[in-house]
């Protein structure tokens, strides 16, 4: 199953741990990278603490540590900063914040899981960037660190060489995205199937938030057009309307979408409207006509066609997923197979 040539350079992942760290924040991502190695990956994971001492997690489980942060002399492909329930005191730990900064200085990409975002923010690494954290703490992240643009809906956010993820298990989603980036979609899919997790999970703090899956645009006028679409999906967002809003020709607008976002204006708007419709279906009992109208699809039939095209299910079936896990009736979303279903249209964070 493993196909690694001796000449392949390992991908170095450094995980910063500390007393009171949440266990799954650490082990979830490590398991993803270890499983990727069974499918041709080449990850080498090292655990680091600020002083090199072993730590005890918030669950009471001990974790061994490979070395102290000051002794890290190599460049990491990924530095992972997990969270913990005692994050308010952790962000005041100068030694821990110094370790975060030192590891980031020797990293190609720095990522956090759950409340680990507070450590990145306290270390000044998220200033001027977009980020997310567990839904319960997004307001506090925004209040404590006003220079950080907090996205409360995303499962994870990629902004340049920084990634932040939402609640605990989202570290698995983030790690799968990194495996896909490093090794390709086939390996990431194999890892997800082997771990019996969704490669892309429906609902919740969706990693397919259009706002986070679109790369940064260099064009301010295009950013204004994108923001207008996400702020009011039901407004007029035809190609001509968007071009008029930006003060450019339709041909120029089409070219900007292709060059900056790798998609078409119509496709982008449909994704925005899908996101709005899914949020309404997940969180309420609004009639389908109301969902269609407020999300911008206009009619229940248009809404149904869009869901069939993008997810392969009806809006009603999508809503039903969030009524119950199906654990007692045996009708959960993974009952059909030992492998998770994979919706058809995966968008990657940049």
Spell out the long-range contacts of 223-226 with Cβ–Cβ below 8 A and sequence spacing 24 or more: 225/253, 226/268
State the Cα torsion 135-136-142-148 to the nearest 10°. -40
Give, in order, the Cα–Cα distances in Å from 107 to each of 10, 94, 102, 301. Answer: 14, 20, 9, 49
To which residue do tokens 């041709």 refer?
A: 40
Distance between CA atoms of 194 and 272, rounded to whole angstroms? Answer: 31
What band does 209 get if pLDDT is binned at 50, 70 and 90? very low
The two tokens of residue 56 are: 């005890």
Looking at mean pLDDT, say which of 158-167, 195-204, 314-323 comes out highest.
158-167
Instruction: Say yes or no: do domains 11-195 and 216-320 share a fold.
Output: no
Mean pLDDT of the chain: 84
Active site residue 114: yes
* 193's tokens: 């199937």
DSSP string, 290-302: HHHHHHT--SHHH
pLDDT, residue 334, reads: 31
User: Which CATH fold would you assign to the domain 216-320?
Assistant: Arc Repressor Mutant, subunit A (1.10.10)
pLDDT of residue 331: 33
Residue with tokens 């600020």: 50
Count Cα atoms within 13 angstroms, Cβ side, for 234: 10
Question: What are the extents of the domains in the chain?
Answer: 11-195, 216-320
**Does the pLDDT at position 127 exceed 50?**
yes
Residue 136, pLDDT score: 84
Of 96, 114, 225, 292, catalytic: 114
Task: For 262-282, write each residue's pLDDT tens digit.
Answer: 889 999 999 899 988 988 887
What CATH number has the domain spanning 11-195?
3.40.50.880
Full-model pTM: 0.60
The answer to whether residue 323 scores a pLDDT higher than 70 is no
* pLDDT cut 70: percent of the chain above it: 83
């Amino acid at each position: 199953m493993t196909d690694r040539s001796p000449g392949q350079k390992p991908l170095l992942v450094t995980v910063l741990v500390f007393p009171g760290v949440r266990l799954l924040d650490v082990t979830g991502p490590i398991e993803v990278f270890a499983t990727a190695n069974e499918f041709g990956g080449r990850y080498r994971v090292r655990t680091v603490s600020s002083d090199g001492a072993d730590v005890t997690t918030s669950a009471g489980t001990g974790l061994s540590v490979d070395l102290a942060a000051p002794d890290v002399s190599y460049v990491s492909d990924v530095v992972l900063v997990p969270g913990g329930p005692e994050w308010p005191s952790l962000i005041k730990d100068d030694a821990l914040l110094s370790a975060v900064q030192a590891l980031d200085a020797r990293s190609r990409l720095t990522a956090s899981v759950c409340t680990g975002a507070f450590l990145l923010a306290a270390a000044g690494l998220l200033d001027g960037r977009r980020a997310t954290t567990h839904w319960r703490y997004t307001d506090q992240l925004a209040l404590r660190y006003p220079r950080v643009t907090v996205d409360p809906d995303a499962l994870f956010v990629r902004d340049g060489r920084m990634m932040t993820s939402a609640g605990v298990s989202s570290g698995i989603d983030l790690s799968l995205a990194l495996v896909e980036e490093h090794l390709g979609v086939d390996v990431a899919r194999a890892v997800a199937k082997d771990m019996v997790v969704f490669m892309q999970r429906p609902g919740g703090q969706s990693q397919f938030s259009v706002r986070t899956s679109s790369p940064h645009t260099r064009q301010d006028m295009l950013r204004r057009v994108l923001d207008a679409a996400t702020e009011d999906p039901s407004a007029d967002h035809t190609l001509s309307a968007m071009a008029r809003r930006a003060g450019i020709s339709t041909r120029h607008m089409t070219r900007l979408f292709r060059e900056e976002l790798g998609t078409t204006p119509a496709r982008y708007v449909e994704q925005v409207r899908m996101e709005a419709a899914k949020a309404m279906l997940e969180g309420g009992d609004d009639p389908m006509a109301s969902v269609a109208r407020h999300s911008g699809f206009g009619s229940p039939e248009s809404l149904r066609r869009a869901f069939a095209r993008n997810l392969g299910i009806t809006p009603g079936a999508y809503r039903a997923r969030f009524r119950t896990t199906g654990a007692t009736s045996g009708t959960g979303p993974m009952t059909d197979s030992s492998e998770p279903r994979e919706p058809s249209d995966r968008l990657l964070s940049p």
